[in-house]
Structure 1
Amino acid sequence: MDANQIDYALNTFYLLICGALVMWMAAGFAMLEAGLVRSKNTVEILLKNVSAYAIACVMYFFVGYQIMYGGGTESGIIPSFGFGIGAENAPDGGADYSKMADFFFQVVFVATATSIISGAVAERMKLWAFFLFCLVMTSIIYPVQGYWHWGGGFLNQMGFSDFAGSGIVHLAGAAAALSAVLLLGPRSGKYGKDGRISAMPGANLPLATLGIFILWLGWFGFNGGSQLKISTFDDANIVALVFVNTNLAAAGGLIAALLTSRTLFGKGDLTMVLNGALAGLVAITAAPHTPTPSVALLVGSVAGVLVIFAILELEKNKIDDPVGAISAHGIAGIWGLLAVPLSTPGASFKVQLIGIVVIFAWVFITSSAVWMVLKMVMGLRVSQEEEFEGLDISECGLEAYPEFTSN
């Protein structure tokens, strides 16, 4: 093997391993959400997560990948439409890694975006309405805005910067989730007539904590793999910096959320602390490759504070998000994108803001349209009786904890 083939093989292997780590994040989201919902909805949330992953893989294979990376008009607004993955690359053709490896790495990102939605709509959405939305999200909505930046579209031409997806993945998922939650309304009993907010604690906090640890681990592939190569001296050093920055941002987000929780509530709220770590990871994802470790720690810490106030503000406005997904992925994603110019030469706050507005507007508007069509055709929400009984029984016919009484 010559040097080019060795580099090609090394980069391909690295991309595949990082993709596998990101795929493992699907398990993290499943565990986190299963731990934060009530026991009577556990089976349904697990079924949503594992099925959404499979739907994302199939739809992105058939349609999404070609939309996102198949080119488009000169304006960079309208992408090309095609099917399948396309021809394989070869080391003598100038490619740095296999196109199949690139597809695998990209498809697990799509699945991550759908996982964000499942937690926000938990405990009251019809299972098949969610699945049908996932078909559209992973085949059209996500790939179009992905093309605008990562596929060389107009956001990329403007100089918008989003290294691993604070906007393309996380803000997009949060926007789709918010559009659904606004149409769904809150869970029954969440808000009293007097404005009182009723706590609906999750059934398994050890499981939720395990979910965050899995996500934390998977994020090294999420951010580290986004360098796409590791075969050169410079690439290897950047990857090492990305790993350190990702880890510090998560730690900073967790500690900041812990201190904020102690200040606001007088106690360390585990659910807030877990979301603090997640927010730190989301925020640093926009630019984990350029800041110093100290700046990465700061970016994650700010996200850990913001996520708590965002969760409280959404609750106050009767936007019921059982797992805090909209805050952790949306608000932290916005902050991460705005923080890019702090460490990235040439990055513009104005362009970053334009990118945020474009991504949010596209995903929110198109998602709202799809949700409204689904609402008219089949309805989005289960009946009040089914919600009271729990979606495990009404949608799945199984109980996650049959030896215990549902709460």
Structure 2
Amino acid sequence: MDNATFTANNVWMMVCTALVFFMHTGFALLEIGLTRQKNTINILFKNIFIITTGLLMYYIGGFNLMYPGDFNGFLGFSGFGLQTDAAGLTPEYASGGYTYWTDFLFQGMFAATAATIVSGAVAERIKIGPFMAFTIFYVGLVYPIVGSWQWGGGFLSTLGGEDAGFHDFAGSTLVHSVGGWGALMAIWLLGARIGKFNEDGKPRAIPGHNIPLATAGVLILWLGWFGFNGGSVLSADPALTSLVLTTTSLAAAAGGLGAFIVSTLAYRNYDLTMFLNGILGGLVGITAGADLMSPNEAVLIGLIAGAIIVGGVALIDRLKLDDPVGAVTVHLICGIWGTLAVGLFGDKAGMDQLLYQLAGVGSAGVFCVLSAFLILFALKKTTGIRVSRDEELEGLDLHEHGMDAYPDFRMNQH
């Protein structure tokens, strides 16, 4: 490979790294927009903690846990910290797609996303300390172990032989459902926010305080997905990169439209939040197979994901679970759908592939549910994980941080 191609590949991967980093801005704006003003500082604090601590945990051990080299296919570790020889900075590394340092940074941005998904689901009632402890364990251990099973050359990547195996291009299961399973366990153990369900158990809407910010957050996430999926090509290959960006965008558009149509038919109103989550559902749904799908298949996958969003939100409410931002529906349910879609559509469609996809969903699900439950249950029995009734009613910004996101400056004018 000539140096110009190697340089172009590496520059593209660095651009994608920046786009994935920018997604954390989108997550933060979406979460604060869909929740109440009194908890804004708390949510922003959690998001900043996730990206800073997540990146450091991935540096300390996560990267080498996820990419351990030769291992038994289930658990391996190649040491603490980062180190490379000269070959790690040349086309000899990663088939000339990027350098060792770019590899770490790109993957590190993915790692923090799993805990960010949980942040939105537990908003407005979790103690900040236990959440930070959960983030450290989940990003530092759980996410890289699951990732190693496929992207690190583990057992999922070899199911059925070298040319077969589980396929998850950019992480419908390995990123999104990992976060989604953690979110599901967290909201189950936490319980619903005060006032979410009435005495008859029927759900009540708790409106977010800034829908314009939530809308901006979704558009930023869509932009960031160009790096999330586009960077997962692992080079600047023109044909595959352009296909992936096309299928990603078409699925997002179809997901939004699908959720809009189904929610309008079901509830007789034009619900912007359903529209927004439909876009995210389409993005999560295409992520597993963005490299395998035709434009028509991408649209179909997105449309179905949009419909799933409407049904999934209703299902979560029916189960008496409280997910303020719809994280479980978007990232877990649509993540599962997108993973299974690889066996139904695209270049690898077939019964054998569908079984491999089911195996990946099941193994990741069992491990993440058990891990998240053990971490959160231990925290619940020791420090407790939920704030007091008074703290919840008055807002976490005041009690956890002693700050107000929107101070009334008029009170300070002379």
TM-score by length of structure 1 reads 0.95
Aligned counterparts of 1:199 and 1:123: Cα–Cα separation in 2? 14
Hey, what does 1:332 align to over in structure 2?
334
Aligned counterparts of 1:361 and 1:293: Cα–Cα separation in 2? 33
Hey, what does 2:89 align to over in structure 1?
90
Aligned counterparts of 1:258 and 1:345: Cα–Cα separation in 2? 30
| Aligned counterpart for 2:255 among listed residues 239, 253, 256 | 253
Q: CA separation of 1:94/1:326 partners in 2, compared to 1, >3 Å: closer, same or farther?
A: closer
Aligned counterparts of 2:123 and 2:158: Cα–Cα separation in 1? 38
| Aligned counterpart for 1:287 among listed residues 283, 286, 289 | 289
Q: Residue 252 of structure 2 aligns to which amino acid in structure 1?
A: A
Matched, 1:162 2:168: yes
Deviates more, 1:343-352 or 1:45-54: 343-352
| Aligned counterpart for 1:219 among listed residues 215, 225, 229 | 225
Aligned counterparts of 2:311 and 2:300: Cα–Cα separation in 1? 17
Q: Which whole-Å deviations, capped at 9, do the CAs of 1:197-229 have from their partners, x for residues lacking one?
A: 121000000000000000000000000000011
Aligned counterparts of 1:125 and 1:72: Cα–Cα separation in 2? 40
Q: How does 1:8-407 map to 2 (within 5 A)?
A: 8-74=6-72, 76-88=73-85, 89-91=88-90, 93-95=92-94, 96=96, 97-158=98-159, 159-230=165-236, 235-341=237-343, 342-345=345-348, 348-403=353-408
What secondary structure sits across from 1:93 in the alignment?
coil
Once the two structures are TM-superposed, the CA of residue 92 in structure 1 deviates from its matched residue by: 5.7
Q: Which whole-Å deviations, capped at 9, do the CAs of 1:87-130 have from their partners, x for residues lacking one?
A: 15032635412010011110110111111000000000001111
Cα contact 1:129–1:378 (8 A) shared by 2:
yes
Q: Which whole-Å deviations, capped at 9, do the CAs of 1:121-160 have from their partners, x for residues lacking one?
A: 0000001111111111111100000000000000011100
Aligned counterparts of 1:204 and 1:217: Cα–Cα separation in 2? 21
What secondary structure sits across from 2:130 in the alignment?
helix
Cα contact 1:299–1:336 (8 A) shared by 2:
yes
Once the two structures are TM-superposed, the CA of residue 81 in structure 1 deviates from its matched residue by: 4.7
Hey, what does 2:4 align to over in structure 1?
6
The number of residue pairs the alignment matches comes to: 397
Once the two structures are TM-superposed, the CA of residue 5 in structure 1 deviates from its matched residue by: 2.1
Instruction: Give the gaps of 5 or more residues in structure 1.
Output: none
Q: Which whole-Å deviations, capped at 9, do the CAs of 1:19-70 have from their partners, x for residues lacking one?
A: 1000000000000001000111111111111111111100000010000001
Aligned counterparts of 1:325 and 1:92: Cα–Cα separation in 2? 39
Large movers: runs of 4+ above 6 Å: none
Hey, what does 2:162 align to over in structure 1?
none
Aligned counterparts of 1:271 and 1:115: Cα–Cα separation in 2? 19
RMSD: 1.3
Deviates more, 1:27-36 or 1:344-353: 344-353
Aligned counterparts of 2:259 and 2:147: Cα–Cα separation in 1? 31
Aligned counterparts of 2:388 and 2:78: Cα–Cα separation in 1? 39
What secondary structure sits across from 2:30 in the alignment?
helix
Q: Residue 127 of structure 1 aligns to which amino acid in structure 2?
A: I
Cα contact 1:256–1:301 (8 A) shared by 2:
yes
Q: Residue 10 of structure 2 aligns to which amino acid in structure 1?
A: T
Cα contact 1:276–1:307 (8 A) shared by 2:
yes
Once the two structures are TM-superposed, the CA of residue 173 in structure 1 deviates from its matched residue by: 0.2
State percent identity of aligned pairs: 44
Q: Residue 222 of structure 2 aligns to which amino acid in structure 1?
A: W
Aligned counterparts of 2:377 and 2:336: Cα–Cα separation in 1? 26
Aligned counterparts of 2:182 and 2:371: Cα–Cα separation in 1? 8
Aligned counterparts of 1:195 and 1:345: Cα–Cα separation in 2? 44
Once the two structures are TM-superposed, the CA of residue 196 in structure 1 deviates from its matched residue by: 2.4
Q: CA separation of 1:92/1:327 partners in 2, compared to 1, >3 Å: closer, same or farther?
A: closer
Deviates more, 1:365-374 or 1:4-13: 4-13
Aligned counterparts of 2:291 and 2:348: Cα–Cα separation in 1? 12
Q: Residue 343 of structure 1 aligns to which amino acid in structure 2?
A: G
Q: Residue 355 of structure 1 aligns to which amino acid in structure 2?
A: G
Q: CA separation of 1:226/1:42 partners in 2, compared to 1, >3 Å: closer, same or farther?
A: same
